[in-house]
Structure 1
Amino acid sequence: MHKTLNLEELITSKQLEKEKETERGDLKIEELYDLIIPPGTVVSIIYDIVEEFGLEPVTRKIFVGVANSEERELLVLRGPLEKVQAAEKFLYEEMEAWIKNQ
């Protein structure tokens, strides 16, 4: 039986990994940047980005000027600048390929 991809489980598992690193004292203090994941992004692409680039998935309230909503809780992937930039490029390439195959 295959497992359905679930963003809540992904976020929880990565937070547990981070807590274990904190307990071991492996964390380094560094500047972190957020890659905002557009609503509707294919979940498998998000999983690939998290695993390949080692980014931390978190939710963040962000102003969205669509319809009547002012703030929405969106998924962001957090990490060092170089990884976030590489992940952003990967995200757009993968989404473009996915759209072309539909």
Structure 2
Amino acid sequence: MAEEELYDLVIPPGVPRSVIRDIIGKYDVELVDSPQRLSFANMDGDMRNLLAFRGKMDVLQKAEKDMVAQVKDFIGSD
């Protein structure tokens, strides 16, 4: 049986650590470094290691919705 392909969901800079920890606890994902080429301002073409969740596509889609909702809640709170 072939292993299901894994994907990376890059975590936008600024996502609170509490949200990252919660997603890792709720979903079958792994926290990994993901080298990304930047394409803005004076960093055009620079490579940076950003954090990402690695997992199956269906799991990452649920985790992404949850992460966005939690960040919106976090921003809305005082």
TM-score, with length taken from structure 2: 0.88
Which has the bigger relative contact order, CA under 8 A and spacing at least 6?
2
Q: Partner of 1:66 in structure 2?
A: 40
Letter in 2 for 1:94: Q
- Comparing 65-74 and 53-62, the one that deviates more: 65-74
Pairing 1:51-62 to 2, within 5 Å after superposition: 51-62=25-36
Q: Alignment partner of 1:39: what SS?
A: coil
Q: Partner of 1:3 in structure 2?
A: none
Q: Alignment partner of 2:70: what SS?
A: helix
Q: Partner of 2:75 in structure 1?
A: 99
Q: Detail structure 1 runs of 4+ shifted over 4 Å in the superposition.
A: none
Task: Say what the alpha-carbon RMSD is for the aligned residues.
Answer: 1.3
- Comparing 29-38 and 85-94, the one that deviates more: 29-38
The structure in which a higher percent of residues are helix is: 1
Q: Alignment partner of 2:15: what SS?
A: coil
Among candidates 15, 19, 22, match of residue 48 of structure 1: 22
Q: Alignment partner of 1:77: what SS?
A: strand
Where in structure 2 are there 5+ consecutive unaligned residues?
none
| Identity %, equivalent residues | 37
Aligned positions, number: 75
For 1:45 and 1:85, locate their aligned partners in 2 and report how far apart those are by CA, in whole Å. 16
Q: Partner of 1:37 in structure 2?
A: 11
